[in-house]
Amino acid sequence: MFAALGPVPDGITLFLDDQPIIACPGDTVAVCMLRAGIPYNRLSPVSGAPRLPYCMIGHCFECLVEIDGIANQQACLTVVRDGMKIRRQLGAPLALKHPEV
């Protein structure tokens, strides 16, 4: 579906659902996941339908994933970092409890 135009230069390692994947420094999480052939990045909390990034510019919110333990992060706007831990969202994420409540 998607492929790099050349070899991945000095790739960094991310972990998607605990599986390592190689990314290019400067890429977004969405680009990295599409290049890796990940079939979906979340399941709709309403229908359970698999969803993939659509607009790649921060408008549609189809690319939401959990990044380093924080849910609902826009993968298309988040630049990869070495060791980043990404989880696909399967339905509605749990609401975060405010630390002072």
Q: Write out the residues near ligand FES by the rule CB under 6 A.
A: 30, 53-56, 58-63, 74, 76
Chain CA centroid to CA 18, Å: 13
Q: How far is the CB of 61 from ligand FES (least distance, A)?
A: 5
Q: Which two tokens stand for residue 101?
A: 């409540």
Q: Rank residues 59 and 99 by Cβ distance to ligand FES and give the closer one.
A: 59
Q: How far is the CB of 1 from ligand FES (least distance, A)?
A: 15
Q: Rank residues 72 and 90 by Cβ distance to ligand FES and give the closer one.
A: 72
- Name the nearest CA neighbour of 66 among 49, 35, 91, 46: 91
Q: Which amino acid, one-letter code, is at 13? A: T
Helix, strand, coil percentages (3-state) for the chain, rounded to 5, are 10, 30, 60
User: How would you label 33-43 residue by residue, b for 16+ Cβ within 10 Å and e otherwise?
Assistant: bbbeebeebbb
Q: How far is the CB of 98 from ligand FES (least distance, A)?
A: 25
Q: Rank residues 40 and 61 by Cβ distance to ligand FES and give the closer one.
A: 61
Q: Rank residues 24 and 60 by Cβ distance to ligand FES and give the closer one.
A: 60
Q: How far is the CB of 7 from ligand FES (least distance, A)?
A: 26
